[in-house]
Structures are given as structure tokens and as C-alpha cells.
Amino acid sequence: MAVQPLSSNIEDILGADGASLLQHQCKIPKSSLHLPGPDSVERSYGASDRSVRVLVSLQSLLDHGRLGGTGYVSILPVDQGIEHSAGASFAPNPVYFDPENIVKLAIEGGCNGVASTLGVLGSVARKYAHKIPFLLKFNHNEFLSYPNSFDQIRFASIKQAFDMGAMGVGATIYFGSEESKRQLQEVTAMFQQAHELGMFTVLWCYLRNNAFKTKEADYHLAADLTGQANHLGVTIEADIIKQKLPETNGGYTALNFGKTHKKVYSDLSSDHPIDLTRYQVANCYMGRAGLINSGGASSGESDLKEAVRTAVINKRAGGMGLISGRKAFQRSMKDGVGRLNAIQDVYLSKAVTIA
């Protein structure tokens, strides 16, 4: 049973942004969307070519934790030991060098699932794989080669995920990078294998190209470019898309490449963060594949507001939930649980509606 949310002060946490975020109405109407709900698996995936075992795995994810039965998810992702180095990630709270504490945080924090590396999840699989859904991230940006290069390389196999009892697998593709075509082909094949073995698939649809960042804006966070990355992700049958929250738009026009349409900017989006995020949802087959936004890096005193703000934007845009790591594990277990619960309270709150 879901714990009753302590959400009466969500507007207080949002502060001056509260009215704009809680009252905004989107250009793309919510009636066009496949929205999260208790019957999400049946409505959004039931008519697809996913096997019964994949549907069971998705339902297991959606039934777990404080958000169980709502159609929303709160996932703890901890692969930063590879992506950012273990020292940079865990020095603020060294207990998380021990993988068991990562899984404990996800359980104590009421998460639907925990996403991490082969080593982390494999080291405690016999103790915890039946207690919380595991999501094995099988590729990573190895960050020790000098000079640094930016590429997602395979660290694990789909069989290893299956053998440890994982319910799902995850991967990153750096769309826009020189390596993206190889990554796309590798991940496509591995997602097919995961589906054949009954596991759901989650794709980190990130952009990576130095040309996408200009003096004017960082178009790695543009709604039009991230939206297209999402569209490529659902094309290879990612069941859930993980994407960064958009902060700008007009990447195609500013960079003068690719193809777009003026109605993307005039009719389907605006400069409001909920409209920008709804465009991301639209590119996930109007929500048939769930959109989860990342919670961002830990940044100190403003963490709580940023986490709640991101959750409100994702939920009101029609997203499926949040995947937040450093805001939780770079602090004490108690405070980390509090951050995760604050995010979950947004999705449990009836006062935060779909725009």
C-alpha cells in the first residue's frame, strides 16, 4: 500500500515558480497522451509485440515501492562510479563504496527499482534481487583512459542480467556523436535479446557533440534535439526513455542542420519547461513509452527545490517518473531517503495534475 504523501508544502518548496508550474496548460493537449496509471502496462504495452514475460517484468517495476500501483516510477540509478569515477561520486559519503548500501537506499527510499552496474548488482543479487526490481546498466562511458574519450562501451551481457534475476536492462546512446551509429546497432541487438528473455528495456537517450554547445546555449538540452533522440530510442523498442530535462529549444535552427518544422516551435511547444518536456513525451509515441527525466547532479542547499521542481515538470508534462541518484546517495541515508520521498510525494499528490 502506498504511503500517504506529505505534499501540502509542494507549493512552498517551489516558491516563486509555484504558480507558473502548477497552473500552466500545455499546447499539446493531454487528451492526445497515453498517461501513466494503474493499468499502464495493459494500455501502453499490451497491444505491442512485447512478450508476456516482458509485461510481467514491467508490472513488477510498477507495482513496487511507494509509487506501486500508480503507474509512476521512482528509480535510484548509481552508475556514477564508472561514469564520473568512484572517488568523485562516493567521497562525499564513503558508505556507498559498498554496493549493499546502494540497494538498501533504494529499498528504504521506497523506490520502484534500482539501476546500477554488473558489479554492484551482481555482488548482492542473491540477497536482494527478489526484494526490489534490478535494472542492469550494461554499457558505460569508461573514464580512466587518458586522454579522456567519450564513448559508451559494453561492460556486461544480457545473459548476465538474466542470470542475476534482473527485471530490466539499460543502456546509453550518445546521439550525435561519432560513435552513435555503432552504439545504436549494439544496443538494438541487446535490447532484442533482453525482450526475448523477458526483461524490459530502458534507454538513456543523451546527446553528445561539441558542436551542440555554443556561446548562446547548450543545445544538448534542447527540446527539439532531445525529442528526436527519444524518437530514435522508441524506434529500437526501448520500453522506457531516460532523458535530461530540457532547458531550451531550437537546436535544429540554431545549429542549422537536420530537418525540423516551424510548427514544432509555434504549435507544439513554447519556452515553458512543461511544454518543452511535453514535446519530449510526444516523441515517446505520445507516452506509449514512458519518459523518465533525470534528477540532475547534487548541488547543495537547492537540491530539494530542484528535485521537486523536476518531478512537477515531468508529471505535469505527462512523464512516467524520475530517476535520481546523486541527490540521494551523496548525503546520509536518512537525508537521501528524504529526497527520494519528496520526489515520490509529487507523484502521489492529487494537487499536481496533468497540464
Kind of pairing between the strands at 290-294 and 321-323: parallel
Catalytic residue positions? 242
In whole angstroms, give the CA distance from residue 18 to residue 22.
6
Helix (H) / strand (E) containing 243? strand 240-243
Q: Nearest Cα to 113, choosing from 170, 184, 64?
A: 64
SS3 track for 5-59: CCCCCHHHHHHHHHHHHHHCCCCCCHHHCCCCCCCHHHHHHCCCCCCHHHHHHHH
Amino acid letter for position 105: L
| Cα pseudo-dihedral 12, 14, 16, 21, rounded to 10 | -120
Cβ–Cβ contacts within 10 Å for residue 60, how many? 18
Three-state DSSP at 261 gives coil
SS3 for 252? helix
